[in-house]
């Protein structure tokens, strides 16, 4: 479990190192790779879905870390319940 928490924290830290411009460029490349042309409605929708998926993954990671933290803080665990 410690490795899981560490991995999640590391992933969040590395994700934070990406600038908004770098993230946008990566998203554009991803959508272009799917065959969507910049300026099209399909490309815009792809960009939105990619952004929503990233936000969901970030939220899921935060929820997992909070769950791990609450398990460690449960009465009687003294941080050793994993």
Q: What pTM value is reported for the model? A: 0.62
The rounded percent of the chain whose pLDDT value lies above 90 is 48
Is the residue at 17 inside a domain? yes
Is there a domain that residue 78 lies in?
Answer: no
Residue at 49 is within a domain? yes
For 28, the domain range is 2-71
Residue 25 lies in a domain: yes
pLDDT at 68: 80
Residue 82 lies in a domain: no
Tell me whether residue 81 is in a domain. no
HSE, CB side, 13 Å, CA atoms: give it for residue 17.
6
**34 part of a folded domain:** yes
Q: With 90 as the cut, is the pLDDT of residue 77 above it? A: no
Structural domain total, the chain: 1
Residue 36 phi/psi, 5-degree rounding, is: -85, 145
- For the cut 70, the answer to whether the pLDDT of residue 6 exceeds it is no
pLDDT in tens, 14-45: 666 789 999 999 999 999 999 999 999 999 99
pLDDT value for 21: 94
């Amino acid at each position: 479990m410690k490795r899981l928490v560490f991995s999640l924290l590391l992933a969040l830290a590395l994700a934070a190192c990406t600038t908004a411009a770098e993230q946008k460029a990566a998203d554009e490349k991803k959508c272009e790779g799917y065959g969507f042309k910049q300026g099209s409605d399909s490309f815009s929708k792809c960009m939105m879905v990619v952004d929503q998926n990233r936000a969901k993954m970030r939220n899921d990671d935060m929820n997992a870390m909070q769950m791990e933290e609450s398990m460690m803080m449960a009465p009687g665990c003294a941080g050793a319940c994993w």
